[in-house]
Structure 1
Amino acid sequence: MRALLVDRSAPGRLRLGTAPDPEPAPHQALVRVAATSLNYGEAAFGLDSAPDRTVLGWDAAGVVERAAADGSGPAVGTPVVTLMPAGAWAELRAVDTGLIGVAPAGADLAALATVPVAGLTALRALHRVGPLLGRTVLVTAATGGVGRYAVQLARAAGAYVIASTGAPEKNRELLERLGAHEVVGASGQASRPVDGVIELVGGPQLVEAYETLGEGGTLVAAGHIAGKGEDFPFGALFGDQQRHDRSLVTFFLLGCTGLGRDLGWLAHRVAAGELDPGITWRGSWDDAAQAVDALLAGRLHGKAVLTFDA
């Protein structure tokens, strides 16, 4: 099969080549990939650490070519959204049926390819905050792939949404269209204490965002693009009478159960136009190096999608 292979001597550390077709386990379906979306972690860390000729990629949408031998999962010909820790940057991938979401017939598979990491991370992070109706939620890095989904999902769930972005005036119209009630340049500018934070930056911004939590609030650390540690000043984690019982939590996406169900639910919302997938770069897999460079240079907000030619 054709695939994008890690090659540190090539532009963007990727080149088009061939790799052996995957051999699915009994609980896996073989999926012909139509599109994949890029994630910052793949570009920033995967390309540096993976051996040459590795096929990376978490997110892919496509069509089932061979159903799982154990009878689980969708039938041949079903359009699907898939998640695995590798293998998406190729024509074929073997996928655990528990990590497959069934997509609507005729849906734009390129748009659905944005769902797995970005959509699921946003959805599961909001689940960790708890019931959202009537609550206030702060989303940091709100113009990124996860952030855009988090803003939309929080608004749809009935939350008052505060979106934080490094360029608030430039991004105000976009974020308000996605559902933000407030757009701020830093977490500390939020107009009120919040019940939940979807924190997607890490480092000093996480520390600042934690201070916006009201009593009983929860910060979900779901992104670490700052590449820095979190240094809390002495006393920041004390419980006091005004803001006690605050929580800071993390989760690992592939350690969660029920992801196939959530993938399908998100795919249907995107296909129906109820969620904007936030695609800001779309091109052929021939242009993968260009997309990776834009992502790492911070020029690309939202999602980059590669479509694979038949």
Structure 2
Amino acid sequence: MRALLVDPSAPGGLRLGDAPDPTPAPHQALVRVTATSLNYGEVKWGIEGAPEGTVLGWDAAGVVERAAADGSGPSAGTRVVTLGEAGGWAELRAVDTDLIGVVPEGADLGAISTVPVAGASALRALHRIGPLLGKRVMVTGATGGVGRYAVQLARQGGAEVIAVTRDPEAQGEELRRLGAHEVLASPADVGAPVDGVLDMVAGRQMVAAFDALAPRGTLVSVGHSGGDDARFEYGAFFGNEGRHDRSIVTFYLLGLPDLGRDLTWLAARVAAGDLDAGQTWRGAWEKAPEAVEGLLAGRLHGKAVLDIG
């Protein structure tokens, strides 16, 4: 099969080449991939840390070529969206059936390929905060793939949404269109305390966001695009002055159960137009280095989608 292979000497660290067809385990389906979406984490840390010739890729959408041997999961010919630790940047992918969502007929598989990491992370992180109706929820890194989905889902869940982004003047209109009530440059700029935070940035920004939490508020640490250390001052976790019971929760998507159900639900919402997939770049997979460069340079916000084959 053809695949994007890690190659440190190639532009963007990737080149098109040949790789062995995957051999599915009994609980895996073989999927012919139509489109994949790139995530900042896999292009920032995955490419540079993987051996030459590796086929990476967390997100992929396509059609089931061969159903799982154990009878689980969708049948051959079903349009699906898939999640995995690797293997999405190829014509064929073997994927666990509990990490497969079914896609409605007629849906754009490129748009649907943005769902797995970005959409499912946003959805499950919001679950960690609890019921959203009437709560104030802050989303840092709000213009990224996870952030955009989080703003939309929090608003649809009944929350008052505060979006944090580096350039509110340039990006504020788009974030308000997605559902943000307020757009700020820093968590420190928030007026009243918030009940929950979805933090995509970590480092100094996460510290400021934690300081903005109301009593019994929860910060869910989802990403770490900031690249700096989170250093809390002495006394930050004292329970006096009304700052009681605030929590920081860590997050690992692939450690959570029943993700196939989430992928199916999110794919249906994107297909119906209830969620904006946030495609800001799309092209053939031969142009992958262009998308990688744009993501790493911070020029691409939202999702970059590669059409496979």
Moved over 6 A (4+): none
State the Cα distance separating 1:251 from its structure 2 match: 1.7
Q: How many pairs align?
A: 309
Report the 3-state secondary structure (helix = DSSP H, G, I; strand = E; otherwise coil) of the residue aligned with 2:16.
strand
- Residue aligning to 2:167: 167
Give the Cα–Cα distance (whole angstroms) in 1 for the partners of residues 241 and 49 of structure 2: 46
Give the TM-score, by structure 1 length. 0.99
Q: Which letter does structure 2 place at the counterpart of 1:255?
A: G
More displaced, 256-265 or 185-194? 185-194
- Residue aligning to 1:127: 127
- Residue aligning to 2:258: 258
Give the Cα–Cα distance (whole angstroms) in 1 for the partners of residues 104 and 243 of structure 2: 45
- The aligned runs of 1:170-189 (5 Å cut-off) are 170-189=170-189
Give the Cα–Cα distance (whole angstroms) in 2 for the partners of residues 96 and 156 of structure 1: 30
- The aligned runs of 1:82-231 (5 Å cut-off) are 82-231=82-231
- The aligned runs of 1:6-85 (5 Å cut-off) are 6-85=6-85
More displaced, 174-183 or 184-193? 184-193
Tell me the C-alpha RMSD between the 2 structures: 0.6
Q: Which letter does structure 1 place at the counterpart of 2:259?
A: L
Give the Cα–Cα distance (whole angstroms) in 1 for the partners of residues 278 and 190 of structure 2: 24
Give the Cα–Cα distance (whole angstroms) in 1 for the partners of residues 136 and 240 of structure 2: 21
Give the Cα–Cα distance (whole angstroms) in 1 for the partners of residues 243 and 217 of structure 2: 8
Give the Cα–Cα distance (whole angstroms) in 1 for the partners of residues 176 and 237 of structure 2: 32
Give the Cα–Cα distance (whole angstroms) in 1 for the partners of residues 281 and 76 of structure 2: 30
Report the 3-state secondary structure (helix = DSSP H, G, I; strand = E; otherwise coil) of the residue aligned with 2:240.
coil
The answer to whether structure 1 residue 294 and structure 2 residue 283 are counterparts is: no
Q: Which letter does structure 2 place at the counterpart of 1:303?
A: K
CA offsets 1:74-107 (integer angstroms, 9 cap, x no match): 0111100100000000000000000000110111
More displaced, 240-249 or 117-126? 240-249
State the Cα distance separating 1:189 from its structure 2 match: 1.1
- Residue aligning to 2:235: 235
Give the TM-score, by structure 2 length. 0.99
State the Cα distance separating 1:241 from its structure 2 match: 4.3
State the Cα distance separating 1:111 from its structure 2 match: 0.2
Give the Cα–Cα distance (whole angstroms) in 2 for the partners of residues 298 and 33 of structure 1: 27
Report the 3-state secondary structure (helix = DSSP H, G, I; strand = E; otherwise coil) of the residue aligned with 1:93.
strand
Report the 3-state secondary structure (helix = DSSP H, G, I; strand = E; otherwise coil) of the residue aligned with 1:142.
coil
Give the Cα–Cα distance (whole angstroms) in 2 for the partners of residues 18 and 289 of structure 1: 17
Report the 3-state secondary structure (helix = DSSP H, G, I; strand = E; otherwise coil) of the residue aligned with 1:235.
coil
Give the Cα–Cα distance (whole angstroms) in 1 for the partners of residues 66 and 225 of structure 2: 37
Give the Cα–Cα distance (whole angstroms) in 2 for the partners of residues 129 and 20 of structure 1: 43
Report the 3-state secondary structure (helix = DSSP H, G, I; strand = E; otherwise coil) of the residue aligned with 1:126.
helix
Give the Cα–Cα distance (whole angstroms) in 1 for the partners of residues 148 and 240 of structure 2: 33
Q: Which letter does structure 1 place at the counterpart of 2:191?
A: S
Q: Which letter does structure 2 place at the counterpart of 1:37?
A: S
Report the 3-state secondary structure (helix = DSSP H, G, I; strand = E; otherwise coil) of the residue aligned with 2:227.
coil
Q: Which letter does structure 1 place at the counterpart of 2:59?
A: D
Q: Which letter does structure 1 place at the counterpart of 2:100?
A: I
More displaced, 259-268 or 224-233? 224-233
The answer to whether structure 1 residue 267 and structure 2 residue 267 are counterparts is: yes
Q: Which letter does structure 1 place at the counterpart of 2:204?
A: P
Give the Cα–Cα distance (whole angstroms) in 2 for the partners of residues 104 and 250 of structure 1: 32
- Residue aligning to 2:282: 282
Report the 3-state secondary structure (helix = DSSP H, G, I; strand = E; otherwise coil) of the residue aligned with 1:17.
strand
Q: Which letter does structure 2 place at the counterpart of 1:252?
A: Y
State the Cα distance separating 1:202 from its structure 2 match: 0.6
State the Cα distance separating 1:191 from its structure 2 match: 2.3
Identity of aligned residues (%): 68
Give the Cα–Cα distance (whole angstroms) in 1 for the partners of residues 150 and 222 of structure 2: 11
Q: Which letter does structure 1 place at the counterpart of 2:65?
A: E
Q: Which letter does structure 1 place at the counterpart of 2:174?
A: L
Give the Cα–Cα distance (whole angstroms) in 1 for the partners of residues 105 and 169 of structure 2: 39
Report the 3-state secondary structure (helix = DSSP H, G, I; strand = E; otherwise coil) of the residue aligned with 1:305.
strand
Report the 3-state secondary structure (helix = DSSP H, G, I; strand = E; otherwise coil) of the residue aligned with 2:106.
coil
Q: Which letter does structure 1 place at the counterpart of 2:5?
A: L
- Residue aligning to 2:305: 305
